[in-house]
Every structure is written in C-alpha cells, then in structure tokens.
Chain A
C-alpha cells in the first residue's frame, strides 16, 4: 500500500475528538493551577506530557497491533515488577505509596497497569477460544491475572485504581463471552459476599479495619456527605457546589470562585471536571460528556470492525477501561460515586495517566486502520 493510502486510512474522527478533549483539558489545568504570578509550571508540564503522549500515540501506530499483542504478557510482567518496586522503594504521596521516582519525574506504574492488564486479558481470551462461551472453570488464569495487580494496588493503597482494574476487567470477561449461567453464579456469590460484609459484624469489622482512616472517612462521607462538611465530606461537597454553581453557562474562564479560591481540593487532578463544570456550565460540561460518549462509541465501532478476535478484544477492552475512568471520575465530581482517586482521561494533570491514555487511543487507531482483512 502506498503512503497516500496509509494517511487517508487514519481515522481522523477519533483524532479530532481526542484533540478537542485534550485541548479543553489543558485550558482547565491552566485555569485550575493559575497563580498570582502567571501560569503555573504544572501547566507547562502538562503541555509536555500531552506532546509526549501524541508522539507515543504515533509510535504505536507504526507497529501492527498483533505485534503489540505479542508483547502483552511481557509488558504485564514488567509492570508487576514495577508495582513490587513501588512497594519497596516508592515515593509516598497523600498517605499512599504510588510513585516511582525516575530522575525528576514520578512514574505511577498502577496507571500503566490498567492498559497492560487490558492487553494481557485480550491476548489470553483471543488465544483460548471457547465456542459456546466460557465456564467458570475456565476463569482460573484470567482471574489470577487480575488479582495479582489488584492486590498490589490495594496494598499501596489505591482504592480508585483497584476499583478501575476490577470493573474494567470484569467488562472484558463479559465481552469475551461468559456463559449466562456463570454470570448469574458470580452475581449471586458476589451479592452474598457483599451483603455478608455489611450484615455479619465480625466480617464487617475485619474489612473496615483494613482500610486506612482516610478511606474509611471517604466512604462514610459518600454515604452521608453532610455528616462532616469540613472533614471527609469536604471534597465531595465543595465539588458539588462548584459544579452546581456553574449553572447553564458557567462563570467564565478563570472566574470560577470555587476553583480559583482554592476551596476545591485536588482541582487539577481528580476534580478537574468540577473546574470545567463551574467555569463553563452545563454547556461546557455537557459537551465534555458528549465528546467522551463520541470517543467511546467510535471505539466500539472499531471493535465491531476489527478483523480478528484479538483486535476486537483489545478495542473493546480499551473502551471498557476508558469508560470506567470517565464514569468514576465524573461520577465522583457530581456526587454519584465515592471519592476515589481516578484521573479523567486526557484531562487530569499527570504524566503517566496522559501517556497511558494516548497509548490506548493509539492502539484503537491501529486496530481501526488495519480493519480490512485485505491488509493482513
């Protein structure tokens, strides 16, 4: 195929959506971190991360996604090692050990693990096909693959990423085709376990006690935000006030009182959506939701058009991963999800998250471009 063909095969729709989301995100980070002496260095760093992310995205396009898939287990293993390293020598931030320091940069392996697990599961299910759907007994290997990073991430402790890993890999298993009966069994066992967690006092005590105080507080605050408006419920309340006070048209760029006056905590990372909602109102926030919806549906389209199993599973898995991030993050900003630290893809400040997302998008493009069997 000629270069011309290659170029025209780039799915410009996805690229366009991604670019608009990243740009809006960048302006939000600019606004949220603006200091009295001008734009903060975080804004410039974010600019660099996005540039690096774009380059990584293009690099991922060059190799065939089958090649990428062949290295899925290796990537997964490397990240497990990195997660273990974090446990041993990681940097502590906000009461949890999540970062590895590489020179001046802090690298968060748990972010990249989300993508690695998705790719590893996609490869596993593509290689081990079952005509009539999987039985529960077929789940030994994939469940182990999920549990190892899950436990490591929980130990950090990073409730948000753990929740992400659990939900998005569950979606992938469903996508790969679990038999209906198996799904029902899991649901019943899960419901029993969770209710016993709350109803049997010793079990409840054990699990509750294993949480860090700030995690307990956050869960308490989610169940009843008004209980302690200055302590644990503070984040949730301030975020809701920020979102609600934006009303329909918003207060204007850099004019959000909640965001600018530092009432809103973690406003450039976990609560960046509240900044957008406060400054640009329902119009801006609704537009963001529309953009994410468009991106995710294009991703599903990619999965539908994929020429083989591994492509479909990879694309579907990436959509599952991105959608969970979006749901949990926005849900937390508007008060329908508990406050756990999950970044908003392409928008929240943070190098590892930005790069991981661009890599994922790059893979989607890759699958989309090589969708015709003809190219194989």
Chain B
C-alpha cells in the first residue's frame, strides 16, 4: 500500500492547477485586450480589410521547333472582368459600363449568368476579352464609378503559323467536367484539348499565382498589397523542323493526306502533317458555335489527325515487307526469275498486274523497281502469308507506334488464323496474293509507314516516335534532353537488307522505276511507291476520279549512305504514288537536309 501511495503526486497537483488557472487568465486577458480594448480597431479592420486574392494565371510554356524557332506563343491581352461580390449595385454598374465601353448590357448579363454555375466567391467574370487599350484606359480611369470592375492581364495562346502543324500542336480550351474530376484542373485555366497541348499539358500548364488587392467597403480597389508570382509552364522544344514542316504542308497543298518524317536514328519526328488542317487560334477563347459546327461537320474531317488516326491499305509500299521476308528467309533467290504476263490465275479468279501488258521475265531487283504485282503474287505465295505477317508485326505494323498524341490507331495485319476465327472462312491463295501487294484487309497509318522505312534505313531498329527534343524550365533555365526510346529490334540478314536497299534506290533512280518524282541532286534517295485501291480491282476499267480515285503512297529515306530522314507520304485520292506522293517526299528531304547540322537558336 505504501508503495502505491499517490500522496506525493497529489502534493504537486495544486501547482498544476495554479499554472492552468494562470494561463487561462492570460488567455482571457488577451481576449479582453483584443475584443474590448482594441475591439473597434479590429472591427474596422475586418470591415475595411477586404483583401481579395485575385488569381494570376500562369503563362503557358512556349513551344519551339528543333532549331529554337517559336511555333506556339503567348500574347499579352487585357480582359475586363467584374467581381459580383464587390459590386453593390449591379444594375448601376452595368449601366455605367454600357455607356462608357459601348458594350451590350445583355451580353454582360449572359456572361454573369453563365458563370454563376461554376465560379467560386470573388472569382471575376470576364465581360470583355482582349479589350482594346482605350477601353482598358477608360476602366482604369473610372475605377471609382465602377466598383467591382477590374482589368485582368492574360496570356493569350497564339499560333503564329495558323494551321501549320495543327494536328500535332493541338489546341487549348476550357476544362471539361471529366478533366475537372480527373486531375482537379484549375477551372479558370484553359488547358490542352488536342495534340501536344493535351498530351504535354502537365508540362505546359504551370501554376497560378495571386495578387492581393485591398478594396474598400464599396468594393473599389484601394491598393495592391502584394503579388505571389505564378509559376510559368515549361517550354517545349519539339523535334519538328519548321522549314521541313512548312515545305510538306505546301507540297501537299489542298489535297487531303498526311506527311510524316522522322530521324531514322532516333525516332525524332521531323514533320507531321495532316490535311485538311484547322486553325488552333479559333479555340483558346472558346470556339464559337458556328466555327465548331463547321469544323465538326466538315466531310473532309479537318480535326482528324490522318498521320496517326487514319489507316489505309499500304498498297505497293507493303512490297518492302514482302521483299524483306523473302530475302531474309532465303525464299527469294536473287537470280530466280518470274514471268509476268499481265495477270495470274488462282482457281477461277484472275489477279492482274497493274501493267496490263505485263512486265515480261524479271528477277527480284527489277520486280521491286517496277513494282510488278505478278512477281509479288508469286513470291508472296512462296513465303506464305503467316511469315509475311510476322515480319510486318515485328516492324511495328498492327500496333500503335506510341507517339505521344491522342487517339492513335493501330491499323491491322490480317493472318490466316484471324480469317478463320472472325470470318469462319479459310485463307485462300487469293488472299495471299492481294495482301502481298498491300491491298485486301491490311491497314497502315502514315506514321507506321514512316517507322517501317526508318527501320529499313537503320538496319532494323524500331524507335518510338519522339516529339520532344528537350524541355526547359523557364524559371531555373534547366534544360532536360529526351533520349531515343527503342521499341524493338528486328534482326535481318545484312545481305538481305543490302539487296532491298539497292532495289529501293532503283525505284527512285533506275529507268522504269516508279519513284522518279523523289529524285534530288542533293542526296541519294531510296523509296517505294504505293497505290492503295479505294474500290475493288474489277471496277478499274471505269474512269476513276475524285473520291473513288486511289490513294497515293510514297515511303523513302535519304541519304542512303548515311540516313538522316525517313518520310512517309499519303495523298488521299491522289492517284499513283509515284506521281502524287513522291515529289512531296522530295521537297521534305531537300528542305530538311538544308538545315541538318544547324545550331539551335535560343
């Protein structure tokens, strides 16, 4: 019992009690001082101390091309806004605004009503965006008569080249409901809604700052109290060469189609064109309903990124894969001859060569140079389509390339097993025939075609297409380089590759080659034309034009000795690849090779 006696502890309890009482007295005295002695002072402070945090939106990151030329910028603009909580008499303020600024009272009310749903307290409502400086001056001069009306400086997104590269650059717009839930984006910010603006939004966005302003009891601004600077977004240096991009856009002109160029040694995307394009400048302030309807309902689908979202039969460009498969497996012997009489029969069906009168007897080299269909029907049958499909898959067809742009399509490589499973039909020799010349069920996007010819150029490496050369933190100046990302490597017999390259050079430069349009004095070009049929072969006796005309393909790389650029061109309904697509590739190659080795200008 003695051991457990609490007596000694209980002796010190009065001290604890005294300490508590003393401290409570201190707190109460302090309360008395604040609330009674200085109560009026603090009451006035609370009444007049109307400090408003005004959000300062961050400037979005600037986007440059690979040589440091700006392709997406910000332009400073001034918006006139109204803070309803600071506007004691809204009707009077609106009257004053209409007379001073000559704006429509109805539009102000509509803006206020629209904003009422989502805005937080004291968040300004924009009533005139990009106000001319005279109006800004009027508002500043009449602050006393316009309580709650403020001028907000804004960084407006500007695309100086209009539609140039619009599909890769993308556009910005208001935060959507789902985006708000997903990443709690700041509702008042415009964020990327397409292209690089969307996929790299986290880099470009930055973070808001705030300005503290003191307003009087009537809501008019008394003074600025301080600024917490916004964090600007990161600048992006794209892999794009502005000159090559522009050359490709001009060469494609009004025709619908796509041009993709990449550095075969790294996967850096040098140009990425999809036509028709759109003007991203329409979006940043909220696109007008009229413009939106026009864009969305346009039968030529200008919002669609054909370079990565459209898939087409590869046509004769697929012969590159059949050739690789044939040479690498040893099925194609260099001096084996095939005789083309203009067509070949399988069962009841006749399969024609594009050259009605036939190519006569030819071996692999001339077979590819002249793109003889009968030669590839025969070779395709000897290799077997299963093996061809495997080479196609290993070279990246049938799966997305992984380029960091929204909604890429994987395309399709048919196989006998697929046909049995899905269509419950056997794979006929005829299927091998038509797929061996790139028709049938094959579907390839322009960027896949570019990746494929790039792999031929670099000896079999598949790179993930890369859009970003480096990022730069504008505050610290820190630059971060990206590095090439290898997706896979196909081992191909170097001798086979060499034979294929010789034939591809022949396509462009030998007599009878189909790709002469790509010849250029500045570099040796290796390439392959393709013509993707839009409608079935049996109807080809009709005169084709417009929407029923074939799609033109051309894939190429240059210079052969030291490849720097791989290009894929697709012209929708362009007719023959050699005529419509090859000259576009030439323009891009020439333009890009001019700049190679140039330094970046900061």
Contacts and interface: CB of A to CB of B under 8 A. Distances in A.
Interface of A: 36, 126, 129, 133, 171, 174-177, 229-231, 240-248, 257-258, 261-263, 277-278, 281-282, 285-286, 289, 292-293, 296-297, 300, 303-304, 306-313, 316, 319-320, 323, 327, 330-331, 334-336
In the complex, the 7 A-B pairs of residues with the closest C-beta atoms, listed nearest first: A244-B42, A245-B46, A312-B6, A247-B39, A244-B34, A230-B226, A245-B42
Given A230-B225, A244-B43, A244-B45, A282 B35 contact: yes
Interface SS of A by simple majority: helix
A248 B27 CA distance: 15
30 contacts: A133-B8, A174-B12, A176-B9, A177-B8, A177-B9, A230-B51, A230-B212, A230-B225, A230-B228, A240-B42, A241-B42, A242-B46, A245-B45, A247-B36, A247-B42, A278-B46, A282-B36, A289-B28, A293-B20, A303-B9, A308-B6, A309-B9, A319-B16, A319-B20, A323-B23, A327-B27, A330-B27, A334-B27, A334-B30, A335-B30
Contact of B39 (A248, A300, A303, A310): A248
Given A263-B51, A292-B24, A323-B23, A281 B35 contact: yes
A319 B51 CA distance: 40
Contacts of B35: 243-244, 246-248, 277, 281-282, 285
Given A241-B49, A248-B39, A304-B10, A277 B31 contact: yes
Given A247-B36, A308-B5, 20 more contacts: A126-B4, A174-B12, A230-B51, A230-B226, A244-B35, A246-B35, A247-B40, A248-B39, A257-B46, A263-B49, A277-B35, A285-B35, A300-B16, A300-B20, A307-B6, A309-B5, A312-B10, A327-B23, A334-B34, A336-B30
Interface string B33-64: 01110111111011101110000000000000
Nearest to B39: A247
Contacts of B28: 286, 289
Contacts of A277: 31, 35
Contacts of B121: 36, 261-262
Contact of B9 (A171, A229, A292, A312): A312
A316 to B, nearest CB: 6
A262 B39 CA distance: 20
A185 to B, nearest CB: 18
A323 B21 CA distance: 10
Contacts of A320: 16
Contacts of A240: 34, 42
Contacts of B23: 323, 327
Contacts of A334: 27, 30-31, 34
A335 B42 CA distance: 14
Contacts of B34: 240, 243-244, 334-335
B474 to A, nearest CB: 22
Contacts of B27: 289, 327, 330-331, 334, 336
A129 B12 CA distance: 15
A303 B414 CA distance: 85
A248 B24 contact: no
Contact of A243 (B8, B10, B42, B47): B42
Nearest to A176: B9
Contacts of A248: 35-36, 39
Contact of A300 (B17, B30, B45): B17
B42 A309 contact: no
Contacts of A330: 27
A306 B45 CA distance: 50
Contacts of B490: none
A258 B42 CA distance: 11
Nearest to A297: B17
B13 A303 contact: yes
A268 B160 CA distance: 49
B454 to A, nearest CB: 43
A289 B10 CA distance: 25
Contacts of A133: 8
B26 interface: yes
Nearest to B40: A247
A297 B22 CA distance: 12
Contacts of A300: 13, 16-17, 20
A196 B46 CA distance: 41
A306 B40 CA distance: 48
B478 interface: no
B476 interface: no
Given A230-B225, A245-B42, A286 B31 contact: yes
Contacts of A175: 9, 12-13, 16
B31 A289 contact: yes
A93 to B, nearest CB: 15
Contacts of A281: 35
A235 B21 CA distance: 27
Given A245-B42, A248-B36, A296-B20, A285 B225 contact: no
Of the listed residues A126, A309, A311, the one surrounded by the most CB atoms of chain B closer than 10 A to its CB is: A309
A282 B29 CA distance: 10
Nearest to B50: A261
Contacts of B49: 241, 263
A112 B268 CA distance: 55
Nearest to B211: A230
Contacts of B10: 303-304, 306, 312
Interface in B224-252: 225-226, 228
Contacts of A286: 28, 31
B3 interface: yes
